[in-house]
Structure 1
Amino acid sequence: MMDNNPFIGAWQLVSGECGEPGQTVEIYDMNALSSRKVITERHFTFLTLKDGAFYASASGTYTFDAERYTESPDMASYGAMVGQSYVFQFQLIDDLWHNRRFEGERQVEYEIWRRVG
């Protein structure tokens, strides 16, 4: 882990899209979806609402280096997430955090988060 941790704080989801292998890529409807991620020195937690009601959450540990940010949930509303590692290529531009996750050569997730705290 790098000494200077640029991830610590609170982040609000701005936009995103996902599509696991074999699925059509779905662009997030930001009028219906709201998500916040809070990151401490060692842990992350996110909570997502859809149409104002609970949709998903997860919490666990993370690591990062100069190019990759990896979340390892140990609690999640979708049990299949627990014990998995989600590796993202990231780019920080001002207060925006761009995350891209790939399965092989295929991008399966792309999210942009804005620092809010």
Structure 2
Amino acid sequence: MLKGFSAPKPVSIILFGSVARGDALPGSDIDALIVFPDGKNMKIAEKEARKLETDITVAFGNRLSPILMKAGGVARKLKKGSGLIAEVAGEGKLIYGKALSEAGRNGK
């Protein structure tokens, strides 16, 4: 999965939503928060994520719905208790890298 990302690679990849809860239907999308170091060029990250979306759809038949954020943004939203980030922190399943709270603190 990470082969498609140039350096710096993601700090964390966290599944959330119906797939993480275990109640996904055959047509459900795969929600994922992908956290990058603050130094990552997000235009490049978006291009790489689009390629990953295609690869995931071909492999699993479900569409990947990634949310891309930098670590500093995650830290700010965690501190504020942002709705989406709170949801990901509560129900998300870490599939790569650091826990969300750690990624926000140390993802630079």
After TM superposition, is the score higher than 0.5? no
Higher helix share: 2
TM category, shorter: under 0.3
Bigger relative contact order (CA 8 A; separation at least 6): 2
Comparing both structures, which one devotes a greater share of its residues to strand?
1
TM-score normalized with structure 1 length: 0.25
